[in-house]
Amino acid sequence: MGAEVIDADFHDPVGVVLFNNSEAYFAVNPDDRVTQMIIQVIVMPEVTEVEDLDVTVRRSSRWRTSMPLS
């Protein structure tokens, strides 16, 4: 089963297409639960482009470290 994205303005019924890629028989009966749906909010924040970033304690070194700040 592959994944698909359903847009917010989609109003038709949603179905599932199943493929058995195995040589073993697999029965799917009426009312069997055979798939999952993930509902995800897509956030599109407003972005502000800047020329340069201010130097901060975190950015004072080019290399990141896991050492605590003193």
- Domain edges within the chain: 1-43
Tokens of residue 66, six digits: 């896991």
- Per the CB < 8 A criterion, the answer to whether 37 and 6 are in contact is no
Amino acid 52: pLDDT: 85
Q: Would residue 31 be called left, alpha or beta, if left means φ above 0 and alpha means ψ between -120 and 50 degrees?
A: left
pTM reported for the whole predicted model:
0.39
Q: For residues 34 and 12, what is the distance between their CA atoms, to the nearest angstrom?
A: 20
Tens-place pLDDT, residues 28-61: 999 999 888 888 888 899 999 988 887 776 655 5
Quick one: pLDDT at residue 45? 93
Q: In this predicted structure, what is the pLDDT of residue 8?
A: 83
Q: What is the pLDDT of residue 7?
A: 85
Phi, psi angles (nearest 5°) of residue 44: -120, 85
